[in-house]
A and B are shown apart, each in its own frame.
Chain A
Amino acid sequence: MSFFFWGLIIILGGGVLSLFSGHKPKWSSFWGSVGAIIGGSIALVPATKVFFSGQTLSWRSNWSVPFGSFFFQIDAISAFFLIPILVLFIIAAIYGREYLLAYRDRKNLGVPLFFYNLLLAGMMAVVVARNGMLFLVAWEVMSIASFFLVTFEYERPAVRQAGLIYLVAAHIGTAFLIVFFILLAGQGDSLDFDRITAVSPSLTGTLFLLAVVGFGVKAGFMPLHVWLPHAHPAAPSHVSAVMSGVMIKTGIYGLVRTLTLLGPPPAWWCWTLMIIGVTSGVLGVLFALAQHDLKRLLAYHSVENIGIITMGLGVGLLGVHIHSPMLTVLGFAGGLFHVMNHAVFKGLLFLGAGAVLHGCKTSHIDLLGGLSKRMPWTAITFLIGATAISGLPPLNGFASEFLIYLGVFRNDMGEGLNHAIIAIIIIGGLALIGGLALACFTKAFGVIFLGLPRSDHAEHAHETGPGMKASMLILAAGCILLGVFSPLVITSMRHVIAALAPMELSAIQANLATAASSLGYFVKMSLLFASVAAILALVRFLLLRGRSVRQSVTWDCGYARPTSRMQYTATSFAQPLVDLFRFLLRTRKPDSRPQELFPAATTFHTDTEDGSEKYLFKPAFMGIRWVLSRWQWLQHGRVQLYILYIALTLWILLIWKLM
């Protein structure tokens, strides 16, 4: 445990040093990133040790706050979440140093670097805190630090708006969590997680729902996801990478931790999680398809992947409910493995988006094109990330979806119409998500990196510096390695699943071994595929030796003056799908067709507003505003009367206490 605390201290120390050296950008960025890298690496030691051995490390001390105590513990679940958090933060710190230096003339870099390290420290504390009060404090540190990172470019109105939405959303979530912990506190005399044992069965349902909403806001469940598409595009790209790659996973962590506290799950919990999962997954990818901004598109994909993770957890929970060891293991292993995989490929994609933004000064997809020639490293790493997130072999995204699929395909679930419906929504949902994600990422990669540049932005793009390149390459290698070593990864996840499922370790190991052998065949198939492709490449090379290999124009039906503006745009590429699902997306297309015989210049744009924001949250907040405005006469600006309010409140409290 001391390694963990030393790591925490170094991270925070680096942050503070960079805050105080903010007037010297070089030093400031040095202290901040070095603190994060060294501190993170030190904290990685206990995390990996616990992950592989399954032992727990704890540290406990008293705290004078009611129900509070300084109780930290790293168990297998914490370690499993700690590893991606630390690794991604370290890699993004390498990237962020270079990325932020572009702002050195306009900004004090000490502030974002300090909050970056504070965010890391807060997240580390969230996953090791084992006391309700401590957890809430860590949770708030995390939310506030990320708020300041989101509002880094606060001079832009859109960024301020995004920051406000994020702050409100985060605190709505926290409000639910406070109620959650108050109810838990009513059950016993301590909020230490190891002393919460007997939660009365009448309360577990309420607690589960509170946790789903409270943690769901952070995780980005539909329809609570409204902050993601605002906050991710606003934040600096390395911050988007860690927010999307690991911060939203703290919501999943909270849900998983809650499940360990609440005891055996009834059937409706499984249904709730699966339906949330499918809804988030399908709607997430559909909204992503309709986006024009790369970072907004990626933000919606986070919602999609959180959906896949939740589907996995739902399947695992169903396994616990019907006492099927194989289903439990496959569901939980698939869902949790996807947590790790998503951290890697989504981190990579956001860093790639940052490189595009850095190199072209825009992330508007329809203004880009042809970047694979100008930014070859970004292109190849982005392609690897896009293949992985579409769930395609031979990369890691497929491996985790494979486990969830396999759980439902096998006959462990049993018969019955209920289970038929579950099979249909999980299999159909995953298949549809897969197909749509393919559409979305062929659109993103194809339009941004292939073809010809669509504007001057893309024409004058330049490749990123060595640090940014290196961090993208490391994550791309991670996508490949997590795919190739997927059998090893899931067998070493046995302690995590043992902490989550009421099963013997040996039973878990046996079931994981079955799953790992299937994944082993998948790896063999991937290697076989790669070698066939290599042989084919060699054959073609030999065939073409000495033959004519000419360059010419693209087939254009004989048109004399093709321009890059004639290319298919991302909007047109997605149009059939957006139209097919218009009943969900409600995309607006102002009709601006040329009218006259000699038509004037005209423009066309589509606009897909977030449905839950427009139809759910806006009306709700308008209602709240209306109610509150009735009470506005209380707020009049006279200090004397305000003091009277305080005195009155104290007086009432005093009387209440005396009675």
Chain B
Amino acid sequence: MEAVVKFLNPLLGLFMAPLLLGVISRTKAVFAGRNGQPILQPYHDLWKLLRKGVVYSRCTSWIFRAGPLVGLAAAVAALLLVPFGGQPAAISFEGDLLVFAYLLGLWRFFTVLMALDTASSFEGMGASREVIFSALAEPALLIGLATAAKFTGHVSLSQIFAGLNTDAWLTAGPALLLTGTAILIVFLAENSRIPIDDPNTHLELTMIHEVMILDHSGPDLGCILYAAALKLWLLGMLFIGIMVPCRSGNVLLDGAVTMLSMLGLAVLVGIIESSMARLRLLHVPVFLIGAIALSVLALMLVMR
């Protein structure tokens, strides 16, 4: 049974990740009183992009072509390390959470480079913002994961999440709540959602993630969008793994609860995006330093 779970878990991510984007935009449409696009629209978009040709800028080099592939490969590799709720990941070992976090770093490294490769000042601007926000999100994420690791006594994501059951919430509820909040902020920042970045903005000057990929087209753009959907799934799974302590031992029940929680998270993101304005760029660092403070506090509570 466990082998089947380990095999199915990444596949589920690969197939379901774009659905989250659909749910988010449908939620936003409902809040705005619109009908909104079909919930499966992201899949149609990806399919359409895969069938197109590409246009490359004359300024770019091979980095620009390699970037989307590196990003998607890093996302797929990271997908193998993330457990599905309490269910084990396909690959787990001591310290896999570090490999997970740094694979996302590798992806960011290449995203930023391919933005700089276009010689466009818009994309340089987005890249500059991306590196500052992720540099601040990194400590929040790792200290948050350290809290969970120290609490459960394990250093592998699968074992940590297996140990975060209802008992854990009864003994260390406040610390886990703080960690969860910090991870939520990291989730929003890394996925370029409101209040850090607005994926639907129309002005190049105010974008972060969207502006870095302005010059990509065709299958390359498809790779990037699909990888972004996977990132939503990956970091969302970290949040759900901590916040939803359903570890009954029944694979179907736990799996269903986790999947519903993921959809719930997508709805939550939709609600946040409908009810909040984006922060001013200058205020985003303060928001992220707040996340660091939360996870530091959580770690102190757990280790004291």
Contacts and interface: CB of A to CB of B under 8 A. Distances in A.
A406 interface: yes
A420 B297 CA distance: 10
Contacts of A540: 69, 219-220, 223
A577 B146 contact: no
Interface stretch (B23-31, B50-58, B177-185, B238-246): B50-58
Given A411-B150, A517-B93, A580 B132 contact: yes
Interface string B53-66: 11111111111001
B164 interface: no
16 contacts: A372-B61, A387-B106, A387-B109, A393-B99, A405-B142, A416-B304, A423-B299, A438-B108, A446-B116, A450-B119, A517-B93, A529-B73, A536-B223, A547-B53, A550-B56, A553-B57
Given A550-B53, A580-B285, 17 more contacts: A370-B59, A392-B102, A402-B99, A405-B98, A427-B139, A428-B142, A430-B142, A431-B142, A435-B135, A438-B108, A449-B61, A450-B117, A544-B54, A557-B204, A568-B125, A572-B124, A572-B128
B117 A451 contact: yes
A392 B134 CA distance: 14
Interface in A430-481: 430-432, 434-436, 438-439, 441-443, 445-447, 449-452
A434 B73 CA distance: 21
B75 to A, nearest CB: 9
Interface string B200-243: 00001000000000110011100100000000000000000000
Nearest to B76: A532
B128 A574 contact: yes
Contact of B219 (A434, A530, A544): A544
Contact of B155 (A409, A439, A446, A525): A409
B55 A552 contact: yes
Nearest to B93: A521
A540 B219 CA distance: 7
Nearest to A439: B131
B259 interface: no
Contact of A554 (B53, B113, B120, B128): B120
Nearest to B57: A554
B94 A518 contact: yes
B292 interface: yes
B91 interface: yes
B131 A577 contact: yes
A543 B127 contact: no
Contacts of A525: 77, 80-81, 91, 99, 103
Nearest to A391: B102
B223 A573 contact: no
Interface string B71-101: 0111011001100000000010111111101
Interface in B132-178: 132, 134-139, 141-143, 146, 149-150, 153, 155
A533 B303 contact: no
A321 interface: no
B125 to A, nearest CB: 6
A566 interface: yes
A104 B84 CA distance: 65
B194 interface: no
Contacts of B150: 409, 411, 423
B95 A409 contact: yes
Contacts of B94: 406, 410, 514, 517-518
A564 B223 CA distance: 29
B275 interface: no
Q: Top 5 closest A-B pairs, CB basis?
A: A568-B124, A435-B135, A446-B116, A548-B53, A420-B303
A49 interface: no
A452 B58 CA distance: 10
Interface residues of B, number: 86
Interface string B102-118: 11011011001101111
A416 B150 CA distance: 12
A66 interface: no
- Report, as a range, how many residues of chain A touch the other chain: 35 or more
Contacts of B125: 568, 572
B54 A528 contact: no
A524 B122 CA distance: 38
Interface in A374-418: 379, 383, 387, 390-393, 398, 402, 405-406, 408-411, 415-417
A26 interface: no
A555 interface: yes
B300 interface: yes
B6 interface: no
Nearest to B121: A568
A517 B96 CA distance: 12
A534 B221 CA distance: 18
Given A540-B220, A551-B55, A576-B128, A398 B138 contact: no
Tell me which of B69, B70, B149 has the highest count of chain A C-beta atoms within 10 A of its own C-beta: B69
B20 interface: no
Interface string A518-542: 1001101100111011001100100
Contact of A431 (B95, B118, B138, B302): B138
A575 interface: yes
Contact of A451 (B98, B119, B281): B119
Contacts of A536: 69, 72-73, 223
B265 interface: no
A629 B81 CA distance: 67
Nearest to A547: B53
A241 B129 CA distance: 32
B131 to A, nearest CB: 4
Contacts of A408: 146
B57 A420 contact: no
A417 B77 contact: no
Output the residue of A406, A431, A517, A553 with the most chain B CB within 10 A: A431
Contact of A552 (B58, B72, B98): B58
B296 interface: yes
Contacts of B61: 372-373, 379, 449-450
Nearest to B300: A420
A549 B63 contact: no
Given A431-B142, A576-B129, A521 B91 contact: yes
A438 B76 contact: no
Contacts of A420: 299-300, 302-304
A45 interface: no
B304 A415 contact: yes
Residue of B62, B93, B102, B112 with most partner-chain A CB within 10 A:
B102
Given A428-B296, A432-B139, A451-B119, A521 B124 contact: no
Contacts of A406: 94-95, 98, 155
Contacts of B66: 537
A409 B116 CA distance: 35
Nearest to B285: A580
B141 to A, nearest CB: 7
Contact of B303 (A415, A442, A528, A575): A415
A567 interface: yes
A393 B103 contact: yes
A397 to B, nearest CB: 10
B303 to A, nearest CB: 4
Interface string A572-594: 11111100100000000000000
Contact of B113 (A409, A435, A446): A446
A438 B102 CA distance: 11
Given A409-B98, A450-B117, A451-B59, A392 B109 contact: yes
Nearest to B69: A536
B113 A445 contact: yes
Interface-centre pick from A405, A530, A548, A550 (highest chain B CB count, 10 A): A405
B1 to A, nearest CB: 23
Nearest to B120: A554
